[in-house]
Amino acid sequence: MDWQACGNPIDQRALDQIFLQARSFNGWQDKPVSDECLRQIVDLMKMGPTSANCQPIRIIFLKSKDAKKRLKPHLMEGNVHKAMTAPVVAILGHDLEFYERLPRYFPHTDARSWFVGNQPLIEETAFRNGTLQAAYLIIAARALGLDAGPMSGFDQDGVNKEFFKGTSIRVNFICALGYGDPASLFPRSPRPEFEEIAEII
């Protein structure tokens, strides 16, 4: 496809790496991911837009065997191998007290007051924007050369108790990160046509 309709696309190699050839991996090469790589992913991810720059995402990167063993009892059986063999598993959560940092992150108005005492708005904003940021993290990881294996098959309450007990953070989903093993891939599933999911009015 000619990707020129919008004016100034990134090159084809970048499009392939981030979207067109990228896959959700189920198995991993035995190749470590450095702490500096994870820091760079976060530095890139955090530049994506969020409502009032609220930045609600909170991440725990599990690298050690002991850390991943804490996660294992809370995984659905089909996700155990994918998570336990990955170099890194990111637990992606959102902080329900994100608004306390708004005086720093959105200093030109009193955005904190929009949320104090409005629990439905807090939960909606934290979840929506935390999900956005988790998606940015997958894109950032791919852009910097890693592969990703996002997962939603886990016991949410169990993960919250194990990793976020006593905090205002709640898990959204988890994502394995590393260098994918092509042998672990299934054939790519179909994608919808434009008309199936979108309209222009």
Instruction: List strands edge to edge, sheet with 57-62.
Output: 57-62, 88-95, 169-178, 147-151
- Tell me the pLDDT of the chain (201 aa) as tens digits: 788 899 889 999 999 999 999 999 999 999 999 999 999 999 999 999 999 999 999 999 999 999 999 999 999 999 999 999 999 999 999 999 999 999 999 999 999 999 999 999 999 999 999 999 999 999 999 999 999 999 999 999 999 999 999 999 999 999 999 999 999 898 999 999 999 999 999
C-alpha separations of 62 from 19, 70, 86, 92 in Å: 25, 9, 10, 11
CATH topology of domain 12-181: NADH Oxidase (3.40.109)
List the domain boundaries for the chain. 12-181
| Tokens standing for residue 1 | 């496809």
Q: So what's the pLDDT on residue 126?
A: 98
Per-residue model confidence as pLDDT tens digits over 24-44: 999 999 999 999 999 999 999
Least Cα distance to 64 among 35, 37, 27, 43 occurs for 35
Per the listing, tokens 């891939």 go with 185
